[in-house]
Structure formats: structure tokens, C-alpha cells
Amino acid sequence: MKQLWFSVCLLTGSLLYSNTAPAQTASGALLQQMSSASRSLNYELAYISITKQGIESLRYRHALVEQQALGQLLHMDGPRREVLQRGDGISYFEPGLEPFTLSGDHIVDALPSIVYADFTRLAKYYDFISVGRTRISDRPCEVIRVVARDGSRYSYIVWMDEETKLPLRVDLLDRNGETLEQYRVISFTVGEEVQNALSGLLKASLPPLISLPALDNVKLGWDTVWLPAGVSEVARNRRKLPNVSVPVETRLYSDGLFSFSVNVSPAGSGVGTQLYRQGRRTIQTELRNGKEITIVGEVPPSTAKRIADGISFRGSSK
């Protein structure tokens, strides 16, 4: 029944789009406030992450101290795994691995990617549909659904605390309304005590920054004929993988919310079209024109197949 109700909301939002522009603007503004609050407030979240693989409990802290962003993500179960942020450096500590630091302005492992999205950009291709109000963690929340207008991607439902604008629950849904992932806050704190808990990071000794190799601006012999609306290429390269003698050509695409890569290499001993999906991630492989085409990323299987089917090789027919 819930899936049917959400489907009706989606259909109604699409059919009446021209008559709901004010609501779209208001919902988009609320989502942008959520993004700003997540980057600017001093807060601590205890939450669970629910996927097809199981349930994980985590704690996330964020604060601004001396005009510098500080953060900590701690996995609460099993071996201690921790991610720390100090300014534009994100440091990773995992058992069995040498600690390392990468460049970044937020901990990408902590909150759903939609929390940090640019909703002004997404408004060109997504509908922001107000679903109403409810309670999460004993807090009144605004509920907003985020849906791609062309139906080619997954959708989100966001429960946002009315007072702080922090996200208290985020569901990622497939095109049939089934929940793929759920982020759900159990308790949270906002205030100076979080600043005090993280202030020691200012003087902490963190691992050195890893410099990633520059991305190649190479010319590739193929193009993507069809892409979902709003998706653009953000990087490309040609590289050899370990234990693979032939190079793989890759284009990375994103719409600012979901990302995926298109990989093309000479066909080996592949067995033809293959499809694998785990949660939000799809791997679609097919052989054509002596090439192996593989789509990897956050798109539904039908979208991955349409992208793969549309690959055009220069100087040959599709």
C-alpha cells in the first residue's frame, strides 16, 4: 500500500508539474537549507544504515572550529573504523591498511550523497515533491521526495528536522518503490559540546595527503549516444589495470546526485551480455564490434542497458 501511495504521488507530481511550480521552489529551498545546515552546524548524529547487506550503526560528528570544518565518522560495530575531516583533508583509518588522507570538503562515507547536493542545479532535471509532515526521533519533520523527471534514475525521500533542517531519515528507492538503502537517525545533539569534542583534531597528527595522478584528457574512439537528462562527463582516462594487458578506456559521468562510469576495452574471453546489481550499484556488460562495454554505477539496470546499447564507435556502425 505504501508503494502504491508513493507511486500515485510521483504520477500526480509529473502530471501537474506546471501547476505546482511554487511548491517545487519551496521544497527545493528547504532541501538547500538542509545542505547548508549539514555543512555549518555543530552536531552529532547516532544513526543506522540499512541496506540489502544488513544493518550498520554509526556516529557522525561535525563542527566548525576556528573557521575550519572538523568531522568524525565512527563505525560503532566490529573492528574500529574511523574517518576524520580537518579542513579539506579526509583521513581514513581501517584495520589492516596504512592510514591515508585524501582531498575533500566533506566525509563522503557519512551521510547520503543527496545531503550535499546542489539543488539549484538538480531543479532543472528533478521534481521536489512535498509529501507532508511527520515525526522521526520524536522530532517534527518535513517530508520531500526527489524524483528524476525522465524516470531514468532512482529516487529519494528525505525527512528533514523542521527546526535544524538536518536530515533525520533518507530512503533511496528503486523505480518500483522498493527501498534500496535507508539512513535513519536514532538520536542527535546540536551545540557547543560537539565543538569541544572535536577541537582536539586541530592539533592531531594525521596521515599525509595522497596526491592522485592527474586525469588524462585523452581522445577516445567512442561516444555515448544517450544519457539521462542532466548527466555530463566529469572525467576520462585510458589506463592498464593490474593483470590486464590491454588498456581500458573510461568516461565518468554524474548529474550531481548519481554517478556512473562507461568502460570500453578489447573483448577478451567474455561470455556476452551480463548484468549484476547490488543495492544501488549496477554492472552491465555486453560485447559489440570486438569491444567489451561495461557500465558501472548508481543507475537502474534498464538505464545501464540503454546507455550501453547506445555506445557508438567512430568509423563503424553501432
pLDDT recorded at residue 271: 65
Q: In this predicted structure, what is the pLDDT of residue 145?
A: 97
Higher local confidence (pLDDT), 6 or 308: 308
Q: For position 208, what pLDDT does the model report?
A: 92
230 and 290 housed in the same domain: yes
Within 10 A of 303 (CB to CB), how many other CB atoms are there? 27
Tell me: do 246 and 198 sit in the same domain. Answer: no
96: confidence class by pLDDT, cuts 50, 70, 90? very high
Residue 225, pLDDT above cutoff 50: yes
Q: Do 145 and 255 reside in the same domain of the chain?
A: no
Residues 236/215, Cβ–Cβ less than 8 Å: yes
C-alpha cell at 144: 520531500
| Distance between CA atoms of residues 308 and 314, nearest Å | 15
Does residue 309 lie within any of the structural domains?
Answer: yes
CA distances from 162 to 47, 144, 171, 297 (A): 18, 12, 18, 33
Residue 240 has a pLDDT of 76
283-311 pLDDT per residue, tens? 999 998 889 999 999 999 999 999 999 99
Domain final residue pick, 203, 231, 256: 203
Residue 219 or residue 190, greater confidence: 190
Of 4-18, 122-136, 272-286, 288-302, the one with minimum mean pLDDT is: 4-18
Same domain, 237 and 165: no
Residue 242 lies in a domain: yes
CATH number of the domain enclosing 173: 2.50.20.10
- Spatial contact of 253 and 233, defined as CB atoms under 8 Å apart: yes
Give the chain's mean pLDDT. 88
Q: Answer whether residue 316 shows pLDDT above 80.
A: no
Tell me: do 185 and 241 sit in the same domain: no
Q: Print the domain residue range for 289.
A: 222-313
CB 118 within 8 A of CB 128: no
Q: Is residue 1 pLDDT above 50, yes or no?
A: no
Same-domain pairing of 293 and 182: no
Coil, strand or helix: which one is 113? helix
Query: Mean pLDDT over residues 183-203, rounded?
Result: 95
Mean pLDDT of 243-261: 89
State the total domains in the chain.
2
Q: Do the domain assignments include residue 18? A: no
20, part of any domain: no
Give the pLDDT confidence score for residue 25 in this predicted structure. 81
More confident residue, 60 or 272: 60
Tell me the C-alpha distance between 104 and 275, whole Å: 32
Q: Are residues 277 and 195 in the same domain?
A: no
- Could you tell me the three cell numbers for 42? 555543530
Assess whether 81 and 229 both reside in one domain: no
108 and 230 inside one domain: no
Residue 104's nearest CA partner among 55, 139, 71, 136 is: 71
Query: Which range (32-36, 114-118, 164-168, 214-218) has the least confidence?
Result: 214-218
For residue 142, what are the CA distances in angstroms to 75, 160, 265, 317? Answer: 28, 5, 47, 51
Q: Between residues 210 and 4, which one has the greater pLDDT?
A: 210
DSSP-derived secondary structure letter, 153:
S
Clarify whether residues 72 and 187 are in a common domain: yes
**Looking up cell 548484468, which residue turns up?**
275
Residues 84 and 196 in one domain: yes
**129 or 289, which is more confident?**
129
Residue 20's pLDDT is what?
38
User: Which amino acid would we find at residue 173?
Assistant: L
Question: What would the pLDDT profile of 9-24 be if each residue is shown by its tens digit?
Answer: 433 333 333 333 444 5
The mean pLDDT value for 72-93 works out to 96
CA distance 222 to 291: 11
- Whichever domain contains 282, its CATH number is 3.30.200.100
Would you give the DSSP letter of residue 241? P
Please tell me the pTM assigned to this model.
0.86
CA distance 65 to 104: 17
